[in-house]
Amino acid sequence: MIIGLYTVLSHGNLVKKLIGLNLFQASVFLLYISFGKVVGGTAPIIEKGFEVYSNPLPHVLILTAIVVGVATTALGLALAVRIFNAYGTLEEDEAIAAEESDGAAAS
């Protein structure tokens, strides 16, 4: 979780930021799944001979959160592509510098 968050904050490259974000989200997914684990339980599929099951609810929830995460990544990458087309760079500081020199030229 911390590594992911650190990556988001420390890297200027937009794609690296997205990867960090992904790492952060994935670790939260794992956190959820760990809540659902019951010691000695099997996967929550009804089957003869098994009495103890893991809690299925966190799995269901996190499936939704994973979809959200995928959508976020897709949108982020799409934005990164458009930023690359508009600025010719994927480094955040270079894009901001380009923006500022633009602003200075306009005013």
Partner 1 sequence: MTAHLPALQVLLPLLCAPMCVLVRHRLVAWLFFLLATVSALACAVLLAVRVSGGRELHYAMGGWEPPVGIEYVIDAANVPVLILVSGIGFVVGIYAKRSIEAEIDRHRIPLVYACACLTFTGLLGVTATGDAFNAFVFFEIASLSSYALIAMGRRRRALLAAFRYLIIGTIGATFLLIGIGLAYAVTGTLNMADLAARLPDVYGNRALTAAVAFTFVGLCVKMAVFPLHAWLPDAYAEAPSALSTFFAATSTKVAIYAFMRFAYTVFGVTLVFRMLPVDTIGMVIGSAGMVIGAAVACFQKDLKYLLAWSSVGQIGYIVVGFSLHSVGGLTAAYLHLVNHGVTKAALFAVAGMLLLRLGSVRLSALAGLGRRMPWTFAAIVLAGLGLVGVPPTAGFVSKWALVVALVTDGKWVLVAVVLVSSLLALVYVGRIVEVCWFREAPATGPVESPPASMVAATWLLVLASLYLGIDPARLDSLAEGAARALLGGAS
Query: Where on the chain is the footprint of partner 1 (CB under 8 A)?
Result: 5, 8, 14, 17, 21, 24-25, 28, 31-32, 35, 57-58, 61, 64-65, 68, 71-72, 75-76, 79-80, 82-83, 86-87, 92, 95-96, 99
At closest approach, how far in Å is the CB of 97 from partner 1? 11
User: Minimal CA–CA distance to 2: which of 39, 19, 29, 27?
Assistant: 27
At closest approach, how far in Å is the CB of 42 from partner 1? 20
Nearer to partner 1, 3 or 86 (CB): 86
- Phi and psi at residue 95, in whole multiples of 5°? -65, -40
Judged by DSSP in three states, 13 sits in strand
- The rounded distance, in Å, linking the Cα atoms of 68 and 80 is 18
Cβ-Cβ contacts under 8 Å for 105 (sequence gap 6 or more): none
Exposure of 29 by Cβ count < 10 A (0-12 exposed, 13-18 middle, 19+ buried)?
A: middle
At closest approach, how far in Å is the CB of 50 from partner 1? 21
At closest approach, how far in Å is the CB of 29 from partner 1? 9
Nearer to partner 1, 53 or 87 (CB): 87
